[in-house]
A = this chain, B = another copy of it.
């Protein structure tokens, strides 16, 4: 099965993101607004339960909850025309991302980590120019306290279902 690891921010931030995603993101219905911590990877259920979940518990237990700030939108253009709420990078989120890319877990880090919440993707060139032109002038002042991440798996229709929650800074059995 195909798994991924993400943070779902507070309802307030999800609602802001969805106000844009509704119009500009074809993945709107497949998953709530999120910060991807680890790109989708393939794993067997046995491996998930026997190896990966214990390792994710370990990662969560050594990671303290942290704060994030969002102050503007940015884009991956010209690589892709994705537009996103830029999550200010910090040692905390970057360390968490690194821990989720150790040798003990499947999947490679293909790009340098840019924490973000996608709000628009797969736009035509014209749409992209319009939408990014208007959004990039906006100022945001969103703050959140991140105290958990989630392991998800993908259904046949492309939607993602949460399998497990990992709370930061908590030892679990």
Contact = CB atoms under 8 A, between A and B. Distances in A.
A109 B110 CA distance: 49
Interface in A109-160: 148, 150, 153, 155-157, 159-160
Could you say how many copies of this chain the assembly holds?
A: 2
A163 B167 CA distance: 10
Counting contact residues on chain A (CB < 8 A from B), the size range is 20 to 34
Nearest to A153: B11
Interface in A1-48: 1, 8, 11, 14-15, 18, 22, 28-30, 32
Given A170-B173, A172-B172, A8 B162 contact: yes
Contacts of A171: 173
A59 to B, nearest CB: 16
29 contacts: A8-B162, A11-B153, A11-B155, A11-B161, A14-B155, A15-B155, A15-B156, A15-B157, A18-B156, A18-B157, A18-B159, A22-B157, A28-B29, A29-B159, A32-B155, A32-B159, A32-B160, A32-B161, A148-B164, A150-B165, A162-B162, A163-B165, A164-B165, A164-B167, A165-B165, A170-B172, A170-B173, A172-B172, A172-B173
Interface of A: 1, 8, 11, 14-15, 18, 22, 28-30, 32, 148, 150, 153, 155-157, 159-165, 167, 170-173
